[in-house]
Structure formats: structure tokens, C-alpha cells
Amino acid sequence: MRKLIDSNSVLAFILLTVFANGFVSINVLEKNKRYYKSLIETIKEENVALTEILSELKSEGLDVTVTMYQPVERQTDSTPNILADGTRIRTQDASNYKFIAVSRNLLTRHGGWLDYGDFVFLKGTEGKDGVYQVRDTMNKRWVNRIDILESIDVKPYKFNGQIHKTDLVHNTSSE
């Protein structure tokens, strides 16, 4: 009989421990649930505000420094005929492409609002205004900067300008 009482006592102790642990765990989880729910709401509100700021930048334009680069190893990398998005170009025809490299802070993968293949309208430059396509990335030391791809015979230039994202769409499907 003594052995049966010990087993019942042990079983009762285990059940009491399980129920107490469950009660405490549920209360802790509910508290965390409320905390994270409020945190998620705060993040959603911040996201809405940042989205509004981003759409203003897209519509109003962003002030940038506009320079140029040529498809040569000392200005690119060891493959000057291959751009960051994988596009292959004829280096002698670089100015005909209307491609640009953008500073990393402008790319979506780094928190910006542009992606490879996006078209932008560049304005405020002397003779270089127009529609360009994002195809390349600049060195990480540059911020709010655009490099226009130019042929080797073009003299270097630098302007202050503005970029605006356009509604043009790059069609990648082969029809």
C-alpha cells in the first residue's frame, strides 16, 4: 500500500507541476503576444509613413549628382562589357545604349526605390536630360549619384540633376 501512495504522490506532483508550468507559460505567451502585436502595429504605421515619403520622392524627383563612366577596366571591373545586371554591351557603342549606373542607396536591395531594368527620367542637366535605364551599380562609396554609360571618346562631365521614376516597363519576355 505504501508503494501505491508514493506513486500517487509522484503522479500528483507531476500533474501539479505540469499545470503550473502551463499556466505560467500561457500568461507569459499572452503578455508577449500583446507586446509583439503592438510592436507590429507601430512598424506598420512607420511603414505607411515611409511609403508615403518614398512615393513623394518618386513623383517629385530626387536630386542627384550626374557623372559619366566609360566601359574600361579602370572605371569598372575586369569585364567592362558586362554590366551589374548581366547585360552585355559593345563597348564602342556605349553612348547609344542610354544605360545608367546608380549608387547603391538607390537600389531596392539596399533600401532604395530603383531596380535593374527600371526607367528613369533625368532632368536638370545640360544636354543629358532624357530617359535612361538602370543597368549598373556604382561603387559603394557613392550616394545619390548616377553615372551615365558613355563611349570611350566622350569627355568627362559632371552635373547636378534630378531623377524621376517613369511608368515605362522593361519587357523581359521574348514574344
Tell me which H or E stretch contains 69: strand 62-69
pTM reported for the whole predicted model: 0.63
Predicted confidence (pLDDT) at residue 4 exceeds the cutoff of 60: no
- What's the pLDDT tens digit per position in 126-142? 889 999 999 999 999 99
The C-alpha cell that represents 69 in the structure block: 563612366
Phi and psi angles of residue 34, each rounded to the nearest 5 degrees, phi first: -65, -45
Phi and psi angles of residue 10, each rounded to the nearest 5 degrees, phi first: -65, -45
- Identify whether the C-beta of residue 125 lies closer than 8 Å to the C-beta of residue 159: yes
Q: Residue 101 — pLDDT band, cuts 50, 70, 90?
A: very high
Identify which of 57, 64, 76 has the alpha carbon closest to the alpha carbon of residue 159: 64
Please tell me the CATH code under which domain 62-165 is placed.
2.40.40.10
Predicted confidence (pLDDT) at residue 174 exceeds the cutoff of 60: no
Q: Residue 164 — pLDDT band, cuts 50, 70, 90?
A: confident
Q: Give the three-class secondary structure for 168.
A: coil
Identify which of 144, 133, 126 has the alpha carbon closest to the alpha carbon of residue 166: 133
